[in-house]
Chain A
């Protein structure tokens, strides 16, 4: 396999480790690191780095350090939030209803599906409108005293559509006072002021590698009086909510990545959205029968451009783009690596023939104007060569 020059427009899948993060992680490793539960000096150093990282993550989320649980990533955070909150809710034999938007990431959706196998738990999905935004009226109609958890992501991983989380939280407070609000902020974290945007949520899930940190580290924020039942038991780390020796270096990486993202946020949002808009305009101007899945004017993450191309098979488009060094994504894959029909697009009412030609470009902190130039030079020709009658 020869390596063509690469135009990486798949930051939504994972975004490169920021050099400053790599440096901070190397620094953390440069001296002996013990187990943070120990008492000797290397252990105390580990404990200090862990707690400093926790302070930083908490600050970025506008929360107290004690609310932050370090995890192995976004999926574990989502599982811990869903099972933890529901496990707490069904203590003492009570029944619980969990509501989640129809466009949640599989980490949330499949956790809800699995939790619904518990006899005491009922799961309902909340419909979304044509832009992928959760239907607040439908939510209000479903909320009741039995509602234990409402899961609505901060922004969708496929389309980038930002959810009305504040309205969700307000509706929950008004109609189901004891219900907890969980938001999966994994996809939005790079470009969102989390302290502000997630303030209405009791539980917030984060992943380091989506913000320029390392793969294998994440966090779940749990705001009192919300309590969660642990999913794994052992030495009682993370205030007995997540046992297991903490990944101190990973925690350092997450903290530094979040701090860097926050420091450059206002400038990065403007710059990346500008590049995204140029890519969108260039592609929609030159390619016939192409649709922006979420229309302009709707609140979308600055790095996301989701398109549907009629008469295109996304598997072919991704292969042909890959051969020309353009990395994009076609939606969610199953365990084999095969693309699956997108339930997100189905929930938005996107017709099947358009959804077959769905492609996601996601820009990130290191995307340049030259990347956009290359994509614009390559994508229209590739699309033309692959077009056929469905």
Chain B
């Protein structure tokens, strides 16, 4: 096969490329420049591109840099900022996978005549029909959640070479091959937000923060926050303690009304979340009204048993056991109740 492998400069995609080369495929590496804007001097992390390029050289494959920063800004960064203005909690990695890696990059890979696009994600695509998207073999590193928007059309054109390996196997393979990225730390945070500035620093230059009053569930004012745009439901930090001395949690955020509602741990739970139809994607067949499933609401969140109902507003996910609140904008990935490593579909909480 001719395979285009997206190389971030990290160890997973380095090993993904190496495995494909070892398997005898015709491999070309590409690193995406996603951030840095169109300025004269701004650039992506040159060090990461260098790492990817040096690994490609070591593997004897061609390497290219694709500048998708305009698309990234339009489809990932701008919506990320706007979501905060609306008091939503977006997942930019998911939007990048949806709009950039498995849309524009995949289309580019097709046009260039590649049979497959490979990435270093820890997830698996089963053989057979229909294709299944399954959790990575390493449960701690599983990335099926951030890929849960993929459907048959994409799954048939992608390959995740490290999905059946544990992270330590990946690193051990990188060490065996002497790849310079073998000991590189995992990336943790949103790639376009610097660790020094943080989310608050990043957003500060891009939107206006508004103070808000904090009320308890009876409507009594109990405090204030400087930036309602930075508050997320379920949040504990900065919310203090109730009259009973117990910690308070955010139960609701109303950005237009500049109001944050807090309650006890028992009050900060939700039993159902609505996924509007326009946000729903299915790996193959949609879940039917009344079907049972397993829901995961964050990248490494604990899976929760649930039932789904069809309603006018969309798909209603009803948890068997109440869960920590799901913020508007969060992706809910649904897994097969009888085969909980298999993704069924996903939607975005209203």
B and A form one assembly: yes
Interface residues of A (CB under 8 A from B): 1, 106, 109-110, 113, 313, 315-316, 319-320, 322-323, 333-341, 343, 385-386, 388
Given A336-B33, A385-B111, 19 further pairs, Cβ under 8 A: A106-B40, A110-B40, A113-B40, A322-B62, A333-B65, A334-B33, A334-B42, A335-B46, A336-B31, A336-B49, A337-B49, A337-B65, A338-B43, A338-B44, A338-B66, A338-B67, A338-B69, A341-B70, A386-B112
Tell me, in angstroms, the Cα distance from A315 to B62 when the chains sit together.
Answer: 14
Complex CA distance for A49 and B69, rounded to whole angstroms: 49
Q: Which residues of A contact B46 (CB under 8 A)?
A: 335-336
**Is B19 at the interface (CB under 8 A from chain A)?**
no
Q: In the assembled complex, which residues on chain B have CB atoms less than 8 Å from the CB atom of A113?
A: 40
Q: Determine if B64 and A319 form an interchain contact, defined as CB atoms under 8 angstroms apart.
A: yes
B1-57 interface (Cβ within 8 A of A):
28, 31, 33, 36, 38, 40-46, 49-50, 53
B107 at the interface (CB under 8 A from A): yes
| Residue in A106, A109, A319, A334 whose beta carbon sits within 8 Å of that of B36 in the complex | A334
Report yes or no: A315 in contact with B60, Cβ–Cβ below 8 A.
no
Give the distance to chain B from A363, nearest Cβ to Cβ, in Å: 24
Chain A residue, CB-CB nearest to B50: A336
User: Cβ of B36: which chain A residues have Cβ within 8 Å of it?
Assistant: 334
Q: Which of A315, A319, A322, A340 contacts B38 (CB 8 A)?
A: A340
Known interface pairs A336-B49, A338-B65; A316-B40 also in contact (CB < 8 Å): no
- Nearest CB on B from A113, distance (A): 7
A106, A109, A341, A343 — which one has the most chain B CB atoms within 10 A of its CB?
A341
Contact (Cβ within 8 A) B65 A336? yes
Asked whether B67 lies within 8 Å of A340 as measured between CB atoms, the reply is yes
* B113 at interface, CB cutoff 8 A: yes
Which partner residue on chain A sits nearest B60 by CB separation? Answer: A1
A315 touches B67 (CB 8 A): yes
On whether A334 and B62 interact (CB within 8 A), knowing A315-B67, A340-B67, the answer reads: no
Contact A316 B62 (CB under 8 A): no
**Among B43, B64, B70, B107, contact of A315 (Cβ-Cβ < 8 Å):** B64
For the complex formed, measure the closest distance between the CB of A261 and the CB atoms of chain B, giving whole angstroms. 32
Which of chain A's residues have a CB closer than 8 A to the CB of B42? 334
Does A341 contact B38, Cβ atoms closer than 8 Å?
A: yes
Please tell me if the beta carbons of A334 and B61 are within 8 angstroms of each other in the complex.
no
Chain B minimum-CB-distance residue to A109: B40
Inter-chain CA distance A386–B64, complex, in Å, is 17
Inter-chain contacts of B60 with A (CB < 8 A): 1
A336 touches B44 (CB 8 A): yes
The answer to whether B43 touches A388, judged by C-beta atoms less than 8 angstroms apart, is no
Complex interface: chain A residues within 8 A of B113 (CB): 320, 385
Q: How far is the CB of A389 from chain B (nearest CB, A)?
A: 11
Is B108 engaged at the interface, CB distance under 8 Å to the other chain?
A: yes
Which B residues are CB-close (under 8 A) to A106? 40
Rounded to whole angstroms, the CA-CA distance of A270 and B43 in the bound complex is 41
| Residues on the A chain within 8 Å of B66, using CB | 315, 338
Residue of A nearest to B69 (CB): A338
Tell whether, in the assembled complex, residue A336 and residue B40 are in contact, meaning their CB atoms are under 8 Å apart: no
Name the B residues within 8 Å of A341 (CB-CB). 38, 70
In the A-B complex, the 4 residue pairs with the closest CB atoms: A338-B33, A338-B67, A336-B49, A338-B65
Inside 8 A of A343's CB, which chain B residues have their CB? Answer: 40
